[in-house]
Structures are given as C-alpha cells and as structure tokens.
C-alpha cells in the first residue's frame, strides 16, 4: 500500500496526453500524429533539477550542444504514463495557480518499488520550452 505521507506530497494536478496516429498522412506520406487526453486531474508533484547538457546533433564530426532543462515529476503508483506522453495543465492544488500551461515532454519514466509493490512513479520532463 502506498504511504499516505507520500500521497500528501503530491501538491498539484496535471493532464497526461498520449500521442496517437490520426489516420492521416502528410504530403510526404508521413503519418500525422495528434494528442489525446489519457487522464486529467492526475495527482503529481514537480521538482526542479539542474540543467543538463545534451548532444543535439553531430554534423561534420562536431557535436552541437543544447541545454535541456529537465525536472522530475512524481505520480501515484500505477499511473499510466510513458516516454511517448506529455504532461499539460500543471496546476498547484493549494491555490489553483497554473505552473505550466505548455506541454512538457516526458523523457524517462521510472517505476519505484517499495518491498514487493510499486510505491510511486517518477517521470523526467523537459521544461526548457
């Protein structure tokens, strides 16, 4: 059972959206994707982290560096979220202040276990937009 003290730390809510095939293709024959709401009002917490340098692309042997600001989000156990998703409409519960109204791309999802069951879900999100 998830610790109620952990759940009390989830001080915000958000919407999780999943990328889906629209059934359409563009002029180049590439699939057009769209976003659909998977869940809204999901309990969560956003924790700031240090910026990370990532290699953006390598052209002519010279890596181009970009700064990706990556924050960590916490979710209740069994939250349906993957690296193909994004988080939107992040609102602090205490005062209904919107923390982010732009989509945050999910970069990595980790399911944290406590004894034999899932304790919570962590997701690294890109907040550099």
Q: Which residues of the chain have pLDDT under 70?
A: 1-2, 49-68, 116, 129
Structure confidence at residue 3 (pLDDT): 75
Q: How many CB atoms lie within 10 A of CB 106?
A: 21
pTM for the full model?
A: 0.80
**Domain 4-126 belongs to what topology?**
Thrombin, subunit H (2.40.10)
Find the helix or strand (DSSP H, E) in which 3 lies: none
φ/ψ (deg, to 5) at 37: -75, 120
Q: What is the Cα–Cα distance from 107 to 17, expressed in whole angstroms?
A: 14
């Amino acid at each position: 059972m998830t610790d109620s003290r952990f759940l009390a730390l989830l001080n915000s809510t958000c919407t999780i959206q999943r990328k889906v095939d629209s059934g359409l293709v563009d002029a180049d024959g590439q699939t057009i994707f769209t976003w659909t709401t998977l869940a809204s009002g999901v309990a969560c917490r956003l924790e700031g982290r240090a910026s990370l340098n990532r290699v953006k692309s390598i052209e002519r042997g010279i890596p181009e560096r970009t700064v990706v600001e990556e924050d960590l989000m916490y979710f209740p156990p069994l939250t349906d979220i993957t690296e193909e998703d994004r988080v939107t409409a992040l609102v602090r519960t205490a005062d209904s202040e919107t923390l982010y109204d732009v989509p945050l791309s999910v970069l990595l999802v980790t399911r944290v276990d406590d004894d034999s069951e899932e304790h919570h879900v962590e997701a690294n999100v890109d907040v550099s937009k």
